[in-house]
Structure 1
């Protein structure tokens, strides 16, 4: 008779099989992880390569708010409440060339952004549209 516990052949085989299976899963997972980090397959991530969207609020703050107020409520320049209803073309003509939709010339203090630029660069149509969208949202 033995004093310690005894295991059957079936129990020993189950423990060995479990150990081998665990080792195979561990090694396979480890190697798969190495392959992914080595760009050998799997999902790849890249930084966005497109331009950032134009921020109308930031453009308004840096180019318009000094005269028209932070919420377009007016200041040195008039309030822009009626500009919410202007067409995109009318808003562009006003901002770029100083022309009111009625046809009158805006005051000389209003920059002609077609010549002066926005933030030191020539204005892009998307920038003017973004400013108009911001003003409409006020």
Structure 2
């Protein structure tokens, strides 16, 4: 004897709700995990840990991630000018150009040139050490 089943499949709305729930749960779990990892650092709550010595600043890496798109891989120019002349600039002149868009003599650089004092490198505040490392790298290309 065969039985007639009254079971029905899931509606599209029910499937969508389940998928949304799973995705949201995953996002919350991922965010919570990353937040916890950033806060704990392996220490108990409220504990302070000694800071780890930071790695030396790499001018080539900074140049590659912030300058190469406009000034080219070997600082030979592209959208922006070639940087050969900057090798003769003082560290203060180079910093003024990179941080504030001011070339020696007070000439303003093109508006497309980022003012890294405002935007920073990789979203973090630009440091004198980073600017010097980029300048040394650009000089090494000449």
Give TM-score, length-normalised by structure 2: 0.62
Tell me whether 1:67 sits opposite 2:70 in the alignment.
yes
Alignment of 1:58-137 (within 5 A): 58-137=61-140
Cα RMSD, aligned residues only: 0.7
Larger radius of gyration: 1
Q: 4+ residue stretches of structure 1 with deviation over 3 A?
A: none
Tell me whether 1:52 sits opposite 2:55 in the alignment.
yes
Q: Which runs of 5+ in 2 are unaligned?
A: 1-51
Q: Which residue of 2 aligns with 1:40?
A: none
Give TM-score, length-normalised by structure 1: 0.64
